[in-house]
Chain A
Amino acid sequence: QSVLTQPPSASGTPGQRVTISCSGGHSNIGINYVYWYQHLPGTAPKLLLYRNNQRPSGVPDRFSGSKSGTSASLAISGLRSEDEADYYCAGWDNSLRGPVFGGGTKLTVL
């Protein structure tokens, strides 16, 4: 059981906009930043967004993030086949004194 809750799966067709939700609590998302990762099996995870909605260099602006209260979401617009991957939200938890991850959402591009 992950501290942060994500839907196990999401899907969309090329060109569509999809969103992935991440629900937490007052000790993590409620008072700390949210981070998003893209992970293709067999490869190293990649930091997609940091501090809720900031993109590292090289991440296309098709990826965006938002946060409200104890929930956050990742939006991917102009969906492409190469976006098919597992996506994880993460954040620091003040009660656990460490980072916590969501359970991950498998995105399928139909």
Chain B
Amino acid sequence: EVQLLESGGGLVQPGGSLRLSCAASGFTFSSYAMSWVRQAPGKGLEWVSAITGSGGSTYYADSVKGRFTISRDNSKNTLDLQMNSLRAEDTAIYYCAKLDEVVPAGAAFDIWGQGTTVTVSS
């Protein structure tokens, strides 16, 4: 069964750091680009970051550029998101999502995890 399972969410103070992880199973992980998409309370979906199947190229939304780092370990089928200098506006449910392509060039997120909640508050 194709599955994505996120972990690592929690409560963190403004300016703090958090590392999210996503464990993938049921497909050839290295053959697909992966992404993080978030949904703030009462808001819509917002793309955060993406990484190619090889991990050689990364992409970021302007809102997180310079603060978040996406990475993957194809030997362990895991995707990570290192979040630094967190702000209140980063509070959201963070979804791990598989893209239906090796290099991101569309928005075909065909598999999603259940999400992990990040709350940035003092």
Contacts and interface: CB of A to CB of B under 8 A. Distances in A.
Partners in one complex: yes
Interface of A: 2, 32-33, 35, 37, 39, 43-47, 50-51, 56, 86, 88, 90-92, 96-104
A45 B95 contact: yes
Contacts, number: 75
Interface centre among A37, A56, A99, A101 (most CB of B within 10 A): A99
A98 B61 contact: yes
Contacts of B62: 96
A35 B44 contact: no
B89 interface: no
Interface of B: 35, 37, 44-47, 50, 59-62, 95, 97, 100, 104-110, 112-115
Given A45-B45, A45-B95, A88-B44, A99 B115 contact: no
A35 B107 contact: yes
A7 B104 CA distance: 27
A-B CB proximity, top 8 nearest: A44-B112, A90-B107, A99-B107, A104-B44, A99-B47, A35-B107, A101-B45, A103-B44
A32 B104 CA distance: 12
B117 to A, nearest CB: 11
B44 A99 contact: no
Nearest to B97: A45
Contacts of B104: 92, 98-99
10 contacts: A35-B108, A44-B112, A46-B112, A50-B110, A86-B44, A92-B105, A98-B60, A99-B104, A100-B47, A101-B44
A69 to B, nearest CB: 18
Contacts of B45: 37, 39, 45, 88, 90, 101, 104
